[in-house]
A and B are shown apart, each in its own frame.
Chain A
Amino acid sequence: AQSVSQHNHHVILSEAASLELGCNYSYGGTVNLFWYVQYPGQHLQLLLKYFSGDPLVKGIKGFEAEFIKSKFSFNLRKPSVQWSDTAEYFCAVSPGSQGNLIFGKGTKLSVKP
């Protein structure tokens, strides 16, 4: 069965530190890839998405993600985090060209001021 793995359950960083959250998926074919963010007490919001083309995708609020096909990975990065980035981050994969989203279990990010 297809699955999405987010290796870090909880990441704690100080402000201005760099961030990288891992995401791996198990599906050999074409995929669409997504990162969602859920701020405390709020709903999921789309952070960025990859369908095709340049494997380095830039999203909102300074986030970016890189698709590495050979590693089945789509890691999220931000060079310098802020306290307001404290949230839970979900990686999601849509297998094939019209597949549903399969979500990872999420990584909670806490940024200390």
Chain B
Amino acid sequence: DAGVIQSPRHEVTEMGQEVTLRCKPISGHDYLFWYRQTMMRGLELLIYFNNNVPIDDSGMPEDRFSAKMPNASFSTLKIQPSEPRDSAVYFCASGIAPYEQYFGPGTRLTVT
């Protein structure tokens, strides 16, 4: 298995632009998680899905952030409009249980 796949690996964008991060979970994993990692705040859970349904989005910082999982093999995290404080590494993880999580390589987002 290729593991969790994320794209792009690096994204540089200007403030105000829309950013879309993509994730392909490991086949057969029913759970998918989006995390954000910064030096200041560490690793934060943004949202997670079970069987494509959002279960807990309490970690989503504000309405500018949205996440979707249209099918079992694809999820997106969108930021619109982006701001410099959104600069971080965004990780996607998947698992067969909420506590068994396999992480993707991450997307390093820089908003200028």
Chain A interface residues toward B at CB < 8 A: 32, 34, 36, 42-46, 90, 94, 98-101, 103-106
Dominant secondary structure at the B interface: strand
Interface size on B, residues (CB 8 A): 17
- From B42, B43, B99, A99 is in contact (CB under 8 Å) with B99
Q: How far is the CB of A108 from chain B (nearest CB, A)?
A: 10
Cβ contacts A to B, 19 pairs, < 8 Å: A34-B99, A43-B104, A44-B91, A44-B103, A90-B43, A94-B98, A94-B99, A98-B97, A98-B98, A99-B99, A100-B33, A100-B45, A100-B48, A100-B98, A103-B42, A103-B45, A105-B43, A106-B42, A106-B43
In the complex, residue of chain A having the shortest beta-carbon distance to the beta carbon of B44: A103
Question: Given the complex, which residues of A lie within 8 Å of B54, measured CB to CB?
Answer: none
